[in-house]
Amino acid sequence: MFTGRASRFMIVHTARGQNNDGPARSLAQRRQESTSMKIVPVIAATSFGFSLVQLDVTIVNIDGLIGFVPISSARKNEQHPTADDTTGLSETGTAIMQRSAAMKHYVGLDDSVKETSVCIVDESGKLCRERKVASHPEDLVAILSDPALSLERVGIEAGPLSQWLFEGLAKAGMPVFCIETRHTKAFLDALQQNKSDRNDARGIAHMMRVGLFKDVHVKTLSSQKRRALLTARSLLQEKAIDLENEMRGLLRNFGLKVGHTSGGVFERRILELVEHDTELAEIMEPLLAGRRKLREGLAKLEKRVLAEARQDEVCRRLMTVPGVGPIVSLAYVSTIDIPGRFRHSRSVGAILGLTPVLKQSGEMSRVGHVSLRGDAMMRKLLYEAAQSMMTRMVKWCWLKAWAMNIAKRHGSKKAKVALARRLAVVMHRMWVDGTEFRWTREDTVSTLAA
């Protein structure tokens, strides 16, 4: 018994030169009958004949070639069930519609810049529909709003467009899930050998069907805009520093050393070095103009970051932690987004990749380096905050004393990583409790007792 896309069918073996409902016919008769039938592309060459029972086609053998022809020509004497005959092998149209409506459907979406591959399967894993549509929420909603579909889960892999598409599908009332990328990659690699958009969408659909996926949190629109602001600021800062380093390297080839300079003195120092060389001055002039433009844009974005941090109550509370400024606090708020999605504050360190990796198998158990999973920008900022607390902060607190004790035993590098993780946990607890940073252990105990 084989199962096709539209109906079930059974292949019945017959001897060569015979059909299962009549005696053997001559080769000329079989060739004459085949000329009046529509034979589809040849699928095999064999010495056997076959016929189908429940499809609209049958397979015949003409000179060792097998092809599909209408079943009415091969099974003229068979009575096909009608719409009112419920005792036959075929289902009525009403029963098919009722069964289709009762089935649950699962959707996999593999998005790209231009098009998104859509795959729909039912609860038994049967492929229902595959199509490519434009990567826009309205186009996806149009194809998924078919009344014949009973959508149970719609899966889309986390990516550049996933937040926008997720929001559009969620507003349309779709049961959409944004799934984790590493888990999706492992599942698809185990499921298929050839990678394509069509195969990925089919694999995601089966992930939704069996429930073997990890959904990720999709940030709110305000957090996405704050994150875009911080990313743009970081990008301008990096490009300005790269441009300054390039100018230092170009002048060093001619024996001209810029030396240590602050941001406001750098341009004046470059002009002093090239004032006696017209050609070098012409080369440095456009580079200095580009650097000046980058610094102006960076200053504008930094003012906006400061304004955002001052207006947000949570950011002001987090800035009471030593080493945490407007950039770190705003980045933390935009990264965590909703603190209630973490049941325990200690889970924040693991989400940001600041906890060690455990490798255990049999009798071997080894604790390795930190996982480095999650948000790289937030992890970097927390490390800078920890470094600032340990090296620049003059006033002592219980958190700094804890980190210094770790530095004595394991070194300053590991102490800074541990302090960064502890900062993430403490800041989350401050956010949830609505409290400010406590400088001593006595303050913490007295507050808890009260």
Residues 34 and 57 in one domain: yes
List, as one string, the DSSP characters of 172-196: TT--EEEE-HHHHHHHHHHH-SS--
Residue 395 lies in a domain: yes
Residue 303 lies in a domain: yes
Residue-level pLDDT at 162: 92
Radius of gyration of the chain (CA): 34
Residue-level pLDDT at 199: 94
Domain boundary (40, 74, 108) is at 74
Residue 231 lies in a domain: yes
Residue-level pLDDT at 363: 87
Q: Return the SS3 of 293.
A: helix
Q: How many helices (H) and strands (E) does the chain have?
A: 17, 14
- Tell me the pLDDT tens digit for each residue of 360-377: 898 899 988 999 988 999
Is the CB of residue 381 less than 8 Å from the CB of residue 327?
yes
Residues 352 and 295 in one domain: no
- Report the chain's mean pLDDT, rounded to a whole number: 81
Residue 82 lies in a domain: no
Domain boundary (190, 210, 230) is at 210
Residue 85 lies in a domain: no
Residues 40 and 164 in one domain: no
| Domain total of the chain | 4
Residue-level pLDDT at 192: 85
Residues 333 and 425 in one domain: yes
Domain boundary (74, 108, 129) is at 74
Residues 326 and 445 in one domain: yes
Angle 15-17-21 (CA atoms, 0-180°, nearest 5)? 70
Residues 101 and 163 in one domain: yes
**Strand-pair category, 57-62 with 65-70:** antiparallel
DSSP 40: P
Residue-level pLDDT at 443: 61
Residue-level pLDDT at 356: 92
Residue 90 lies in a domain: no
Residue 361, classified by CB atoms within 10 Å of its CB into exposed (0-12), middle (13-18) or buried (19+), is exposed
Residues 13 and 124 in one domain: no
Residues 305 and 320 in one domain: no
Residue-level pLDDT at 79: 43
Of 90, 10, 117, give the one whose Cα is nearest residue 53.
10
Which residue ranges in the chain fall short of pLDDT 70? 1-102, 443-450
Q: Torsion over CA of 286, 291, 297 and 298, rounded to 10 degrees?
A: 170
Residues 234 and 356 in one domain: no
Residues 180 and 131 in one domain: yes
Phi and psi torsions of 6, nearest 5°: -105, -35
Phi and psi torsions of 233, nearest 5°: -60, -45
Domain that holds residue 336: 314-449
* CATH number, position 176: 3.30.420.40
Is the CB of residue 118 less than 8 Å from the CB of residue 99?
no
Is the CB of residue 128 less than 8 Å from the CB of residue 105?
yes
d(CA 332, CA 157): 24
Residue 227 lies in a domain: yes
Residue 256 lies in a domain: yes
d(CA 352, CA 382): 10
Is the CB of residue 335 less than 8 Å from the CB of residue 354?
no
Distances (CA, A) of 157 to 178, 193, 216, 387: 6, 19, 9, 36
- Tell me the pLDDT tens digit for each residue of 317-335: 999 999 999 999 999 999 9
Residues 196 and 251 in one domain: no
Of 427, 419, 429, give the one whose Cα is nearest residue 399.
419
Residues 321 and 442 in one domain: yes
Q: Record the pTM.
A: 0.73
